[in-house]
Structure 1
Amino acid sequence: MRPVQLNRITVQEAADRYLELVRAKTTTGALSPATAEVYSRDVLTFALIAGPERVLDDLDGPDVDAALLAFGRKPDGRRRDGAGEPRTQSPTSQARFRRSVSAMFKHALRAGWVQVDPMTVVTVTARERGGLRAERRALTREQATGLIGAASSIAVGAESGGPRRRDQRTGLRDALIVLLLTTVGPRVSELVRANVEDFYTGDGVRYWRIFGKGGRTRDVPLPQDVAAVLDAYLAEGRRPPAAGPAEKALLLSWRGRRLARGDVQAVIDRVRREVEPERRRSVTPHGLRHTTATHLLADAVDMDAVRRVLGHSDLSTLGRYRDELPGELEVAMRAHPLLRDR
């Protein structure tokens, strides 16, 4: 039952109050100390990611989606790869984190801290393999154009913003990343592997030679707007090191190193914050690949052309990348080809 009066407390205050309840359950034996410790760690981490000073009731589904995905990318100091670098959170830890956050919001609804439980509208779910993933991957047309518009505005601002510190000269790069992912749909590995020499001009058209899976390459023409941002980035936004392994890399960190796969999601999130709230939705790099395929196919682009853009070896793979869009059946029937002349 919805409480009579809403108590607008901050995320940090909600976490502290909820953890008092968790500790009380420990003393009564309802929760084990180990379980209580896990709840405490997860809830405090969520508060830190979501913004401790924000009002809890102001968090919506996309805010919680972004926090869940951000946790999945957090380094786990207890797990190391072959090179000794920290791995990201395991799928088990990510699923547990989602359960902890869900339990806190259920209590928040009963306590009158939120009007609606945002967990009922989040799109990020826990997978047995791969951890937390957005359930609906492709952006709608409004969401995609909102993201593209935000990236384009950032690019314009970066070109006219005057001199900045090295760590602030990333506007053109961030805009280019989002535009390439949304309109061309490369795999994130293909994007971060790209070198400057992979882009060339033929008959007035800018092409990207993408080195994909299995040693296969494909030459994809860039939309004119994307090509313009690429040229601006190469002319003004890219500051390559004098020499070294990253000398040829297209995408560089502000320190002059080749951008890593894990950095791309942070770039998308940064651009997404500039989108109008009603068109904003959390999305992964692979979700933008789905967005490219979905909207090209929905606009009746030849299936084989879409296959070649995405770098699939056969048409059957496209089925996995074609997501449903709200209202598409209604649009199709309104524009029925057999009734168009009438």
Structure 2
Amino acid sequence: MRPTRLVPLTVENSTGRYADLIRAKTGTGQLSPGTAEIYVRDVLTFCEMAGPHRVLDELTGEDIDEVLLAFARKPDGRRRVPAAASAPQSAASQSRFRRSLTVFFRHAVLSGWVQLDPMPAATVRARERGGLRTERRALTREQAGGLITAARSLADDPPDAARRDDQRTELRDALVVVMLATLGPRVSELVGADLEHFFTSDGVRYWRVLGKGGRTRDLPLPPPVAALLDAYTAEGRPRLDRGREGRALLLSWRGRRLARGDVQPVIDRVLRRVAPADRRAVTPHGLRHTTATHLLAAATDLDAVRRVLGHSDLSTLTRYRDALPGELEAAMRVHPLLPP
């Protein structure tokens, strides 16, 4: 039931209270830390764009439209490649930001911070996705192969004379890129991995992935990935004499667990080693799309792909499947109703 008494709060106060609530939900298991981080980042961005000292209840649909437009033009600062960093927000990011505001204002209504929800009056919407995307997320086989080859070659590089042995991160960077490109984990799952999450059963190495909603999945590692993992843990992972970072798999050379924001710079560093003809900027989520696209293109069982990615529903796979160059022509060459 909607409260009868209005509690006039500024945008800054209301978003701060909401952010505290979201963070508290991670302690009860209602939200994963990665999901909570996204919600908090979106409402704090909204606070900055809407004006922290304005009264939340005074915002109209037109004000929300201005915020949505400002966010759409906001450069994607997560990227370190200059050309990509200056690009505006993608349609997916715009849609996610609008959803975050929708949930925030629903809470504001129930809490008595606003009398009316302004979101239904907002008219700005991101371009709907569907069919063929104007910009593919998945890398082609050549692009993905070039990235993986560049990553695996890091382990063979001679030591950099300008850096101490305990400051080398080549094996770690190689492992990060190869795992993202071949296994397709969420970036939060990758940085949250601990050493004890990896085990061997009947001669096969597995990664027990801690996924969304507290769900786990045991993911078998292809032999090249398992070999790279062993090389990193034996030679490239810092030796810690303190328990502050626990048993985190991926560490900085200072011995701190990698954060989500540390992963994109790793990819960008490896990309610089790829031949220009096969180089294309990509995000961690784009590598997740790459895994799904190529597993599905190879006619891998749909349910197996779903389990690799950690989806609860098969329908989610349709959002991760990108068109590959030449696949329609190849399908028509081997049409099942026509003789060869």
- The bucket for the TM-score relative to the shorter chain is 0.5 to 0.7
Q: 1:156 to 1:314 in 2, by over 3 A?
A: same
Corresponding residue of 2:156? 156
Q: Deviation of residue 124 (structure 1)? A: 6.9
Q: 1:329 to 1:170 in 2, by over 3 A?
A: same
Question: Which amino acid in structure 1 is aligned with residue 140 of structure 2?
Answer: T
Q: TM-score, normalised by structure 1?
A: 0.62
What are the Cα deviations for residues 234-276 of structure 1, in whole angstroms up to 9, with x where unaligned?
A: 0000013212331300000111000000000010001011100
What are the Cα deviations for residues 171-230 of structure 1, in whole angstroms up to 9, with x where unaligned?
A: 000000000000000000000000011111112211111010111111111111111110
Unaligned stretches of 5+ in structure 2? 1-40, 49-66, 77-82, 98-125, 127-133
Following the alignment from structure 1 to structure 2, what is the Cα–Cα distance between the partners of residues 325 and 200?
A: 35
Following the alignment from structure 1 to structure 2, what is the Cα–Cα distance between the partners of residues 304 and 270?
A: 34
| Contact 1:91 1:130 (C-alpha < 8 Å) held by counterparts | no
Corresponding residue of 1:233? 232
Corresponding residue of 1:310? 309
Corresponding residue of 1:128? 94
Following the alignment from structure 1 to structure 2, what is the Cα–Cα distance between the partners of residues 315 and 301?
A: 13
Following the alignment from structure 1 to structure 2, what is the Cα–Cα distance between the partners of residues 264 and 125?
A: 19
Following the alignment from structure 1 to structure 2, what is the Cα–Cα distance between the partners of residues 258 and 129?
A: 30
What are the Cα deviations for residues 5-36 of structure 1, in whole angstroms up to 9, with x where unaligned?
A: xxxxxxxxxxxxxxxxxxxxxxxxxxxxxxxx
Following the alignment from structure 2 to structure 1, what is the Cα–Cα distance between the partners of residues 288 and 94?
A: 22
Question: Which amino acid in structure 2 is aligned with residue 128 of structure 1?
Answer: Q
Question: Which amino acid in structure 1 is aligned with residue 230 of structure 2?
Answer: D
- Identity among equivalent positions (%) equals 66
For 2:199, what is the secondary structure of its paired residue? Answer: strand
Following the alignment from structure 2 to structure 1, what is the Cα–Cα distance between the partners of residues 141 and 263?
A: 22
Q: 1:306 to 1:92 in 2, by over 3 A?
A: same
After TM superposition, the structure 1 = structure 2 runs for residues 21-170 of structure 1, keeping only pairs within 5 Å, are 95-96=72-73, 125=90, 127-129=93-95, 135-157=135-157, 161=159, 164-165=163-164, 168-170=167-169
Q: TM-score, normalised by structure 2?
A: 0.62
| Contact 1:194 1:210 (C-alpha < 8 Å) held by counterparts | yes
Quick check: 197-206 or 249-258, which moved more?
Answer: 197-206
For 1:247, what is the secondary structure of its paired residue? Answer: coil
Corresponding residue of 1:37? none
Q: Deviation of residue 94 (structure 1)? A: 6.2
Question: Which amino acid in structure 1 is aligned with residue 236 of structure 2?
Answer: G
Following the alignment from structure 1 to structure 2, what is the Cα–Cα distance between the partners of residues 320 and 125?
A: 15
Corresponding residue of 2:170? 171
Following the alignment from structure 2 to structure 1, what is the Cα–Cα distance between the partners of residues 252 and 68?
A: 28
Question: Which amino acid in structure 1 is aligned with residue 300 of structure 2?
Answer: V
- What is the total number of aligned residue pairs between the two structures? 236
Q: Note if 1:186 corresponds to 2:185.
A: yes
Q: Deviation of residue 137 (structure 1)? A: 1.0
Following the alignment from structure 1 to structure 2, what is the Cα–Cα distance between the partners of residues 324 and 313?
A: 23
Corresponding residue of 1:280? 279
Following the alignment from structure 1 to structure 2, what is the Cα–Cα distance between the partners of residues 339 and 204?
A: 44
Q: RMSD across aligned C-alpha pairs, in angstroms?
A: 3.3
| Contact 1:199 1:209 (C-alpha < 8 Å) held by counterparts | yes
After TM superposition, the structure 1 = structure 2 runs for residues 321-332 of structure 1, keeping only pairs within 5 Å, are 321-332=320-331
Following the alignment from structure 2 to structure 1, what is the Cα–Cα distance between the partners of residues 264 and 73?
A: 22
